[in-house]
């Protein structure tokens, strides 16, 4: 796949002597022509470090890679995860995106699960339960946690609390102040064999004292039953949905409890609308394609080693955490689909935080550090609070940062010189609601997949997660003195830990 991208370096070299402000000044229509809209989601790429000729080269790459065809194969349930022999049909969880038989079957299963989930939500709403504890990790935690935090309304029927980390302090803090008689818990694990989830689930089960308010989401009915949760309180998962793509499934049960089932379905509708856009819109009008091509340009033509995501809305503060898993677990690969070595760099390190807090922490490095860090800035046009001056200040800071990073400011004092030339994309939601957030998350999902197509890698396996787990399981007996480590450094560390006790 390196050959497909090799022409991009020449384009970057051609532009290397042209400052970003000059690229913008030399093309007055750029601010309009480098912008797209899909429903309530607007994107502007005018402050990226490419011109129209470089864009032509990028879209030529997209056409030769058949990105629209790749989107159709994804939605139709083709085997896009060949290392595990699986489709990736998360799109079927949220809409009728394909007439293919395998996609229709997946959609039917998803609708059945939604009906069961609605019944459980309504039963809990009719009970005296006030709090929900969601126990999971990774894809079984990050998506539901993000959406519940972003969209839960004041005075919601349930307050949802999340436990993920195996550190016992996580469970202790989540349960503090709750009444076990008015609390229900959901244990979410695809295999129901995840160490962290089972340990935390055991803590919560014992704390509840009554298994009648314990629910599960899993593919493994036998292990769920052995844990003490009956089938009528168990919702399904499927092997054609990866964990980091699963918030649209019954993994979203905590979301439905936090928002209500109807608003959960609105989230799915928004994602389905982005599915339709990503497969139906022509390349030049396709927001997912633009976003993916920009990511590949910044990584392979400009050699950016990191990527920042900067939501200017406190309700999206967990989006960087969510995207770290979605992007880096999907694209952190060095082997091609055929098993060879990837000929180009793949995923950069994703990181970020919510503005304006981050302006007072790491923005110093963004403006004056030695490395250029491309950034996605995300804003919300309409405020959902009664403080218009605050919202105006928030938006002013959002726009100011994208402008200052791009244009910089010269000075005779090197300590007060801002080099500029720092590229960014602005993503703007008309309002933050289930529909717009569903579209935004689905946009990133499709951008990630299209990047994997351009790099020739598998976006849907995650074998790199397993090695550390295997080593941890082998070391667990050694911590209690029932075994010994092989690695000499680990031996020394175990001795230190035992001595500390």
pLDDT at 500: 55
* Residue 335 bridge partners (DSSP): 341
Both tokens assigned to 156: 């919601």
| Amino acid 463: pLDDT | 94
Choose the weakest-confidence range: 2-6, 97-101, 166-170. 2-6
Q: Quick one: tokens of 410?
A: 């010269």
* 390 close to 380: Cβ distance less than 8 angstroms: no
Which whole number is the average pLDDT over 254-282?
98
Instruction: Return the pLDDT at 2.
Output: 56
Q: State the average pLDDT over residues 61-79.
A: 98
The pLDDT score that the predictor gives to residue 6 is 87
> Does residue 59 surpass a pLDDT of 60?
yes
Residue 132 in this model has a pLDDT that exceeds 50: yes
Phi-psi region of 375 (alpha: psi -120 to 50; beta: other; left: phi over 0): beta
Q: Is the pLDDT of residue 482 over 90?
A: no
Asked if pLDDT for residue 226 goes beyond 60, the answer is yes
357 Cβ contact list (under 8 Å, min separation 6) = none
With beta carbons less than 8 A apart as the criterion, state whether 274 and 38 touch.
Answer: yes
194-198, 248-252, 317-321: range with lowest mean pLDDT: 194-198
pLDDT tens for 286-303 read 999 999 999 999 999 999
pLDDT exceeds 50 at position 260: yes
Q: Rounded to an integer, what distance in angstroms lies between the CA atom of residue 32 and that of residue 45?
A: 9
When pLDDT is averaged across residues 2-22 and rounded to a whole number, the result is 92
Query: Is residue 438 a contact partner of residue 266, using CB atoms and an 8 Å limit?
Result: yes
For every residue of 392-408, DSSP letters joined together read HHHHHHHHHHHHHHHH-
Distance in angstroms between the alpha carbons of the first and the last residue of the chain: 53
Phi, psi (rounded to 5 degrees) for 380: -125, 125
What is the residue-averaged pLDDT of the chain? 96
Q: CA–CA separation, 355 vs 394, rounded Å? A: 8
- Name the band, by pLDDT with cuts 50, 70 and 90, for residue 113: very high
121: number of Cβ within 10 Å: 20
Are 452 and 444 in contact by the 8 Å Cβ rule? The answer is no
pLDDT score of 501 more than 50: no
86 has pLDDT over 80: yes
Tell me the whole-structure pTM to 2 decimals.
0.97
Average pLDDT over residues 216-240: 96
Reduced to 3 states (helix: H, G, I; strand: E, B; else coil), residue 34 is coil
Residues 349-407 pLDDT 10s: 999 999 999 999 999 999 999 999 999 999 999 999 999 999 999 999 999 999 999 99
Give the pLDDT band (50/70/90) at residue 1. very low
Neighbour-count burial for 133-158, b at 16+ CB within 10 Å, e otherwise: bbbbbbbbbbbbbbbbbbbbeeeeeb
Rg (C-alpha) for the chain, rounded Å, is 24
Range with the poorest average pLDDT among 317-326, 416-425, 453-462, 489-498: 489-498
Q: Provide the pLDDT for residue 165.
A: 97
- pLDDT on residue 276: 98
| pLDDT the model gives residue 481 | 77
Catalytically active residues, by annotation: 329, 360, 469
Dihedral sign computed on CA atoms, order 421, 428, 67, 454? positive
pLDDT surpasses 50 at 143: yes
State the average pLDDT over residues 451-466: 96
**CA 314 – CA 398 distance, rounded (Å):** 13
> And the tokens for 31?
């601010």
**CB proximity list for 179: less than 8 A, separation 6 or greater:** 130, 131
| Coil/strand/helix, residue 141 | coil
């Amino acid at each position: 796949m390196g050959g497909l991208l090799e022409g991009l370096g020449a384009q970057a070299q051609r532009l290397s002597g042209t400052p970003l402000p000059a690229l913008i000044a030399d093309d007055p229509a750029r601010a309009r022509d480098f912008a797209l809209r899909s429903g309530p989601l607007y994107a502007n790429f005018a402050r990226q470090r490419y011109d129209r000729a470089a864009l032509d080269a990028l879209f030529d790459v997209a056409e030769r890679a058949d990105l629209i065809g790749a989107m159709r194969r994804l939605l139709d349930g083709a085997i896009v995860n060949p290392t595990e022999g699986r489709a990736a049909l998360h799109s079927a969880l949220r809409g009728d995106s394909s007439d293919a038989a395998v996609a229709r079957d997946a959609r039917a299963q998803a609708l059945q699960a939604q009906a069961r989930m609605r019944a459980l939500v309504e039963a809990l709403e009719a009970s005296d339960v006030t709090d929900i504890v969601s126990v999971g990790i990774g894809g079984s935690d990050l998506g539901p946690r993000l959406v519940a935090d972003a969209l839960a309304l004041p005075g919601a029927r349930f307050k949802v609390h999340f436990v993920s980390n195996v550190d016992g302090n996580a469970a202790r803090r989540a349960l503090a102040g709750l009444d076990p008689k008015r609390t229900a818990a959901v244990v979410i694990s695809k295999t129901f064999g995840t160490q962290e989830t089972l340990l935390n689930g055991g803590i919560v089960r014992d704390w509840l004292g009554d298994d009648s308010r314990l629910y599960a989401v899993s593919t493994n009915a036998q292990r769920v039953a052995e844990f003490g949760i009956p089938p009528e309180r168990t919702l399904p998962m499927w092997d054609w949905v990866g964990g980091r793509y699963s918030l649209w499934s019954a993994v979203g049960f905590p979301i439905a409890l936090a928002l209500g089932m109807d608003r959960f379905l609105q989230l799915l509708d928004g994602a389905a609308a982005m599915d339709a856009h990503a497969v139906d819109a022509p390349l030049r009008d396709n927001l997912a394609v633009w976003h993916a091509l920009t990511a590949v340009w910044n990584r392979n033509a400009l050699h950016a080693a990191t990527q920042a995501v900067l939501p200017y809305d406190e309700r999206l503060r967990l989006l960087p955490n969510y995207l770290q898993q979605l992007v880096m677990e999907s694209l952190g690969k060095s082997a091609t689909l055929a098993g060879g070595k990837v000929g180009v760099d793949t995923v950069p390190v994703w990181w970020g935080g919510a503005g304006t807090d981050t302006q007072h922490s790491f923005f110093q490095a963004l403006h004056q550090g030695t490395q250029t860090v491309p950034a996605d800035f995300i804003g919300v046009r309409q405020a959902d609070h009664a403080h218009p001056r605050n919202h105006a200040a928030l938006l002013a800071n959002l726009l100011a940062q994208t402008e200052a990073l791009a244009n910089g400011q010269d000075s005779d004092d090197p300590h007060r010189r801002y080099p500029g030339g720092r590229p960014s994309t602005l993503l703007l939601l008309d309002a933050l609601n289930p529909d717009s957030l569903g579209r935004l998350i689905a946009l990133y999902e499709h951008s990630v997949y299209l990047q994997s197509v351009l790099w020739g890698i598998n976006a849907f396996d995650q074998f790199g997660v397993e090695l550390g787990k295997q080593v941890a399981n082998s070391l667990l007996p050694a911590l209690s003195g029932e075994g010994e480590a092989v690695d000499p450094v680990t031996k020394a560390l175990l001795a230190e830990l035992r001595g500390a006790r």
